[in-house]
């Protein structure tokens, strides 16, 4: 059943004044400084004294830091983004302790995301005008779409990307419009030539956004490599040019994936996908660039939250399920099947397109999972049809957290 209300982030571009840009840049720097200092303090406390430092302790440290002459500039920006940085660090440690993530790392001035989060006490939103703490004028937001009627942001996150563009993301409570109920199910096989192949036989071509813009990106990177290292004006301009090339690729890819996943969720009640190990595939130097450009992880992420929003069922089939080698007509499992084999004929006489056959098998396995609530393990014996496919609970893999001090 669909969730009545959900938290949704609405992201918009805005164009700050020079004073606003300077204030936000100072805030970004202070957020990064506080995060790194708190991380250093927590790491040293554990390494030297086997002591865990929590959020309350780092908050007290922040108060003490502001009173020193060296760090007095931390008091010049809003305190809320600094406190939020400490909360994010606490969340990062909680994920590490639960083995859901690696040990937190320091934020880099050049490589880390430039952002600051404001809670309701640090901004004012009235009549469609957003004013942040320490600012006299509202932000010039480009309202590309309206916020939900009567929605009031609970948090506001301001960020600047590598292309120099400014964004504001407002987290609001919303009730998504429910699509018409349907009684359809679809299996999805992810690929490179065809981004996805559906069990209906439809193939959706991979737009390959990075490949199309590869020449533009390579030229911008060559120009950047020729600039003297440092913070010179010419190098900054060249770095922004590279950032714009990456942003163009990411924007077009994200737009395509949003449209595709929205269509799949609206047209089907049950969607079945494979649990692909993208991280392992990226280790293959031959396929890494193509796999990265396909962005299967983002595709799955979009399907997951949209299915939850709209009351659809998303079923994930175990990665070892032999979807390509299993005949969707008779259920016999074929032996080895290299990637260059795109079509094959089963002993029962059925001729299969490799990807369409895989999508059909994924759908059948997913419907079985939905019926019994289990995961799907690979077939252990060659003959026997679908009844020989074992269904058992598949435990989630443990995260390989690095052996770091638990601060």
User: In the chain, what are the domain boundaries?
Assistant: 6-174, 185-392
**In the predicted model, is pLDDT for residue 69 greater than 70?**
yes
Catalytic (active site) residue 355? yes
- pLDDT, tens only, 229-288: 887 889 989 999 999 999 999 999 999 999 999 999 999 999 999 888 787 788 877 788
Taking Cα atoms as reference points, which of 375, 337, 373 lies closest to residue 358? Answer: 337
Catalytic (active site) residue 231? no
What pLDDT is attached to residue 197? 93
- pLDDT, tens only, 82-93: 999 999 999 999
Catalytic (active site) residue 215? no
Tell how strand 270-274 and strand 185-190 pair up.
parallel
141 touches 10 (CB < 8 A): no
Q: Which of 23, 161, 189, 210 is catalytic?
A: 189
What pLDDT is attached to residue 246? 93
Q: Can you tell me the distance from the alpha carbon of 247 to that of 395, in angstroms, rounded to the nearest whole number?
A: 37
* Phi/psi of residue 384, nearest 5 degrees: 120, -10
- pLDDT, tens only, 316-347: 988 888 888 888 888 888 888 888 888 888 88
Query: Of all residues in the chain, what percent carry a pLDDT higher than 90?
Result: 58
24 vs 389 pLDDT, higher one: 24
- pLDDT, tens only, 109-135: 888 899 999 999 999 999 889 999 999
Q: Which of 23, 117, 161, 274 is catalytic?
A: 274
pTM (predicted TM-score): 0.79
Rounded CA Rg of the chain: 25
Question: What is the length of the chain?
Answer: 407
- pLDDT, tens only, 339-362: 888 888 888 888 888 899 999 999
Taking Cα atoms as reference points, which of 351, 310, 16 lies closest to residue 159? Answer: 16
- pLDDT, tens only, 279-291: 778 887 778 888 8
**In the predicted model, is pLDDT for residue 225 greater than 60?**
yes
Q: Can you tell me the distance from the alpha carbon of 221 to that of 112, in angstroms, rounded to the nearest whole number?
A: 19
CATH topology of domain 185-392: Nucleotidyltransferase; domain 5 (3.30.420)
Q: Is 323 helix (H, G, I), strand (E, B) or coil?
A: coil
Average pLDDT on 36-50 reads 93
């Amino acid at each position: 059943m669909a969730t009545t209300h959900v938290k949704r982030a609405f992201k918009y571009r805005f164009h700050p004044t020079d004073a606003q840009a300077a204030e936000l840049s100072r805030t970004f720097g202070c957020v990064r400084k506080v995060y790194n200092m708190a991380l250093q303090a927590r790491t040293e406390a554990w390494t030297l004294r086997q002591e865990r430092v929590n959020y309350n302790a780092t908050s007290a440290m922040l108060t003490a830091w502001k009173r020193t002459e060296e760090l007095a500039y931390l008091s010049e920006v809003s305190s809320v983004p600094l406190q939020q940085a400490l909360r994010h660090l606490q969340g990062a440690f909680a994920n590490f302790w639960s083995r859901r993530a690696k040990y937190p790392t320091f934020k880099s001035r050049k490589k880390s995301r430039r952002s600051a989060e404001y809670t309701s006490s640090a901004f004012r939103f009235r009549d469609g005008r957003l004013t942040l703490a320490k600012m006299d004028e509202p932000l010039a937001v480009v309202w590309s779409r309206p916020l939900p009627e009567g929605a009031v942001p609970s948090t506001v996150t301001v960020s600047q990307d590598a292309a120099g563009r400014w964004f504001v993301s407002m987290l609001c409570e919303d009730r998504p419009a429910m699509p018409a109920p349907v009684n359809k199910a679809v299996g999805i096989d992810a690929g490179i030539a065809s981004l996805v192949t559906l069990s209906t036989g439809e193939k959706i071509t991979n737009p390959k956004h990075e490949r199309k813009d590869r020449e533009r990106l390579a030229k911008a990177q060559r120009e950047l490599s020729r600039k003297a290292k440092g913070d010179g004006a010419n190098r900054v301009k060249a770095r922004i040019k590279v950032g714009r090339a990456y942003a163009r690729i990411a924007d077009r890819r994200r737009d395509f994936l949003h449209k595709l996943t929205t269509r799949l969720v609206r047209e089907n009640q049950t969607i079945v996908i494979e649990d692909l190990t993208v991280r392992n595939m990226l280790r293959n130097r031959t396929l890494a660039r193509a796999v990265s450009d396909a962005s299967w992880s983002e595709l799955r992420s979009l399907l997951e939250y949209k299915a939850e929003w709209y009351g659809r069922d998303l079923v994930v089939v175990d990665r070892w399920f032999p979807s390509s080698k299993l005949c969707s007509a008779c259920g016999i499992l074929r032996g080895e099947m290299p990637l260059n084999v795109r079509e094959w004929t089963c002993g029962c006489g059925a001729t299969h397109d490799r990807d369409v056959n895989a999508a059909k098998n994924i759908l059948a396995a997913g419907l079985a999972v939905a019926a019994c609530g289990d995961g799907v393990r690979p077939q252990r014996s060659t003959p026997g049809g679908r009844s020989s496919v074992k269904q058992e609970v598949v435990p989630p893999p443990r995260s390989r957290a690095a052996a770091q001090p638990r601060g």
